């Protein structure tokens, strides 16, 4: 049997605190599981938080 099992999870949350400040949080998880015996499982993970502050009115 040959092929891959691929899975990706990418939730993102945005929150507006007020008219000048907004926050974003994200998470990214990728998973690749080959169905052949001579390949390795590969997985990557990333995440972060972003804050935006608007100086203009």
- Record the tokens describing residue 19, joined without a space: 């008219």
Task: Give residue-wise pLDDT tens across range 4-25.
Answer: 899 999 999 999 999 899 999 9
Task: Give residue-wise pLDDT tens across range 23-52.
Answer: 999 999 999 988 888 888 999 999 999 999
Other C-beta atoms lying within 10 Å of the C-beta of residue 12: 9
Altogether, the residues listed in the chain come to a count of 57
Task: Evaluate if pTM is beyond 0.75.
Answer: no
Judged against a pLDDT cut of 70, whether residue 1 lies above it is answered with no
């Amino acid at each position: 049997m040959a092929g891959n099992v691929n899975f990706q999870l990418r939730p993102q949350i945005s929150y507006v605190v007020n008219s000048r400040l907004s926050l974003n949080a994200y998470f990214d998880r990728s998973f690749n599981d080959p169905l052949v015996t001579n390949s390795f499982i590969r997985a990557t993970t990333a995440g972060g938080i972003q804050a935006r502050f608007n100086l203009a009115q």
